[in-house]
Structure 1
Amino acid sequence: MRALTTPLPDVLVFLPTPHRDDRGFFTRTFDTEIFDAAVAEHTALDVRAADFRQDSQSRSSAGVLRGLHGRGGRGETKLVRCARGAVQDVVVDARPTSPAFGRWHAVLLDDVDFAHLLVPPGFLHGFLTLSETADVCYRIDRPHDPTEDVGVRWDDPALAVGWQHAPETVSARDAAAGSWADLTSS
């Protein structure tokens, strides 16, 4: 498993090494030592593998867009991967003091390369399903608190996220999300 930096500070991609043969494949999906070493070397984050408290999974059909979601308060750290199918996963730096404030970065998460995306506190996160079905798994460092939910519309022109294509399905909640200007002016 390797850790790769991205153009956004504190955002990492972890790439496992799948071992394939005529039976299928085997891959390690998480390694505490590699995670802790990469976070210590490449980020300013105060999170370690032992801090993760909750694993969640979503299943989405083709063309579903989920996001852009975040947490207020102290935020949360997420490690995201796609266990089945493929998604275009997007993070937006919403940390007002960050040099990358307002910038986004997209990563392909799929069941071929098994990449994991580390989403730090203070980032918005969303994904667009590119395959017929996608199972996305989240490892989160604290229990979900719905009172801290924040969101920005997936198509906010101030962010100009380069989605691979327009979504076919967006939840009523995500369609009614506020603007980047609303989030950043509060």
Structure 2
Amino acid sequence: MRIEEAELADVIVLIPQPFRDERGLFTRTFDAETFDDHLGRPGTAAAFVQDSQSRSVRGVVRGMHGRSGRSEAKLVRCANGAVHDVLIDIRPDSPTFGRSQAFRLDDEEFRHLYVPPGFLHGFQALTATADVCYRIDRPHDPAEDIGVAYDDADLGIDWPLPVTAVSARDAKAGSWRELLTRLH
């Protein structure tokens, strides 16, 4: 497994090295020792306590979601299909505060992201169906959910496909300006 730094501070891209042959392929999607060595924080991988999975159909956008309070760190990967994955740094003291970065996550290259606490996250399904897996470092608490509208003009996220559906919650999400007020 290779690890690369993303443009956003503290985000890393984990790149498995699949072995392919006539049967198909085999790949290790996570290696705790490699992960911890890269971060320089032994035991960080062991902090992940909950795995979740979503399935979306082409054009669906889920996001932009985050957590207040201590927030959460997560590993995100697309186990089936492909997604356009977007992160926005909402850490006021970060050198990349307010910046976004998009990634293609798919079931061909198996890239996945380590997203530290303090980011908004969302994605759009690019294929007929897309399964996204999340591994988070603390139990989900709905009382800490925060979000910004996926189509907020101030964020200017360029979704690659027409948006076919969003949840009722995402349709009612607040604005970037409202979140900035809350963060300061």
Aligned: 1:67 with 2:63: yes
Aligned to 1:128: 124
Q: Following superposition, which runs of at least 4 residues in structure 1 exceed 4 angstroms of deviation?
A: none
Matches within 5 A, 1:94-113: 94-113=90-109
User: Residue 49 of structure 1 is aligned with which of 39, 45, 51?
Assistant: 45
CA-CA distance at 1:103 after TM superposition:
0.5
- Which segments of 5 or more consecutive residues in structure 2 lack a partner in the other structure? none
SS of the residue 1:9 aligns to: coil
- Partner amino acid, structure 1, of 2:104: L
Aligned to 1:4: 4
How far apart, in 2, do the equivalents of 1:93 and 1:166 lie? Answer: 25
How far apart, in 2, do the equivalents of 1:55 and 1:133 lie? Answer: 19
Structure 1 stretch displaced more, 168-177 or 156-165: 156-165
Contact 1:39-1:47 at 8 Å conserved across structures: no
Aligned to 2:178: 182
CA-CA distance at 1:165 after TM superposition:
2.3
- Partner amino acid, structure 2, of 1:10: D
Aligned to 1:77: 73
TM-score (norm 1): 0.95
CA-CA distance at 1:38 after TM superposition:
1.6
TM-score (norm 2): 0.96
Aligned: 1:141 with 2:137: yes
Aligned to 2:159: 163
CA-CA distance at 1:55 after TM superposition:
0.6
Identical positions, percent: 60
SS of the residue 1:139 aligns to: strand
How far apart, in 1, do the equivalents of 2:176 and 2:162 lie? Answer: 19
Length, aligned pairs only? 182
Contact 2:36-2:42 at 8 Å conserved across structures: no
SS of the residue 2:155 aligns to: coil
Aligned CA RMSD, in angstroms, stands at 1.3
CA-CA distance at 1:120 after TM superposition:
1.1
How far apart, in 2, do the equivalents of 1:62 and 1:38 lie? Answer: 34
